[in-house]
Structure 1
Amino acid sequence: MTIRTLIVDDHEMVRRGLVAYLMTQPDIELVGEAASGHEAVTLLSKTQPDVVLMDLVMENMDGVEATKEAARVSPNTRVVVLTSYLNDDKLFPVLEAGAFSYILKTSRAPEIAEAIRKAAIGQATIEPRVSEKILHRMKEISTKPLYEELTEREREVLSLLGQAKTNQQIADTLYIGVKTVKTHVSNILAKLCLEDRTQAAVYAVENGLHKR
């Protein structure tokens, strides 16, 4: 199996180093290299590689946006992020955008080649410190009260539900239409996984949200 690979990095020396090593790997075929996210998207569309090594911080479209575009123009390509950054403001957005693996530029060349091979067969490679951040984020989400997902207006409506207000009374209090109130109530029930407004009212009281 030959793994068709595209390299994306705005540093020429980094690209040269990757190209020099990967060209020695008989099972990896380089189909191109790009110096920006914009250039990467163009090449992805033309070459449809199996794997793309994606830098994160670049001009003319960063790695996050390029990863999003990769899913559109080359949906079968797996994105292996190769970066120096562990910042949450880049890490989580690129994972949400569809990055398959996340490794650091401090990785040895054989480790990078192995990440490419694993990605090609559907096995992700995640830098250990990234795994720790992901687990920490998951714990934060699991312990976060559901009502924190509500918008400010939805919390106001929930508070009034907890005070046993009718839709008309809520509309009058918040100076909005009854139809809008119904929409907010529907959204509240969906976000809190509740069946009806009575359960919503009880939820508001139990969580002290009716005293707003």
Structure 2
Amino acid sequence: MIRVVIADDHPLLREGLRRILEFEEGIQVVSEVGDGQGAINMARKTPFDVLLMDLNMPGVNGLEACKVIRREFPNIGILILTVDDSDEKVFQVLQLGVAGYLLKDVIPKALVDSIRKVYAGEPILSPSVTGKLLGQLSNPNSPKDHFGLSNREMEILTYVVKGSSNKDIGLTLFISEKTVKNHLSSIFRKLEVEDRTQAALKAVKTKLITLE
């Protein structure tokens, strides 16, 4: 059972999300909160798996709450659900290592699929956010030594930036999913990041990976 908490300051939106999710097998909405502090308090007292988090909330906003929850409860998958797709906000949030970033115009099926993927450990980005990520090639200085990444690691990192799952990468490169995970662990260590979203962000911003 995937236990979900909804954090949004609009009661009607919370109710709509709950109604969508309560009909899905294997998903349980354990609580709804109206601000970031409520999300933090809930994480501290009730075990759950996925947090649907709005960013623009009164009091403690979503970004501030993400920082606390990521630090204290790294196993909770945070899925941002917002109307804010500004470049600054996107990169602020992705650098925290959230599990996903969706806009509120997402269709219900895509939202449900995203929750399941976050629970399974897969990163989720809406198409518009992915475009921003791939378009941010602002650093004019390419890394001189590729951070010590091997040719195979560079190859795998390219697929990570494209949004491929471990399974898809393994099938494409004819290696096992376990081997992909081992390479990713090495990549994260060399890039000094914690997860694949941060790795993709750093790879693009430093021009380590450039996609046409």
Do both share a fold (TM > 0.5)? Answer: yes
Task: Name the one with the larger helix percent.
Answer: 1
CA distance in 1, matches of 2:102, 2:5: 16
CA distance in 1, matches of 2:72, 2:30: 16
Q: Whose radius of gyration is greater, 1 or 2?
A: 1
Structure 2 residue aligned with 1:105: 104
Structure 2 residue aligned with 1:73: 72
Which residues in structure 2 correspond to 1:6-85 (within 5 Å)? 6-85=5-84
CA distance in 2, matches of 1:41, 1:48: 12
Q: 1:145 to 1:74 in 2, by over 3 A?
A: closer
CA distance in 2, matches of 1:58, 1:17: 18
Which residues in structure 2 correspond to 1:1-212 (within 5 Å)? 2-137=1-136, 139-141=137-139, 143-144=140-141
Which letter maps to 2:33?
A
4+ long deviations beyond 3 Å: none
In the alignment of these two chains, the number of paired residues is: 143
CA distance in 2, matches of 1:72, 1:48: 15
CA distance in 1, matches of 2:66, 2:47: 13
Shift of 1:95: 1.1
Higher normalized contact order (CA 8 Å, seq sep 6+, divided by chain length): 2
CA distance in 1, matches of 2:72, 2:15: 26
Query: Deviation per CA, 1:78-129, whole angstroms, max 9, x where unpaired?
Result: 1100011111221111111221111111011111111100000011221111
CA distance in 1, matches of 2:16, 2:69: 24
Q: Residue 9 of structure 1 contacts residue 34 of structure 1 at CA under 8 Å; is this kept in 2?
A: yes
Shift of 1:72: 2.4
Structure 2 residue aligned with 1:152: none
Q: Where does structure 2 lack aligned partners over 5 or more consecutive residues?
A: 144-212
State the identity as a percent: 35
CA distance in 1, matches of 2:138, 2:52: 30
CA distance in 2, matches of 1:39, 1:128: 29
CA distance in 2, matches of 1:108, 1:47: 28
Shift of 1:71: 1.1
Structure 2 residue aligned with 1:150: none
SS at match of 2:128: helix
Which letter maps to 1:135?
L
Q: Residue 84 of structure 1 contacts residue 105 of structure 1 at CA under 8 Å; is this kept in 2?
A: yes
Which letter maps to 2:24?
Q
When normalised by structure 1's length, the TM-score is: 0.64
SS at match of 1:75: coil
After TM superposition, the structure 1 stretch with the greater mean CA deviation from structure 2, 44-53 or 33-42, is 44-53
When normalised by structure 2's length, the TM-score is: 0.64
Shift of 1:73: 2.8
Shift of 1:145: 7.5
Q: Residue 63 of structure 1 contacts residue 94 of structure 1 at CA under 8 Å; is this kept in 2?
A: no
Which letter maps to 1:44?
A
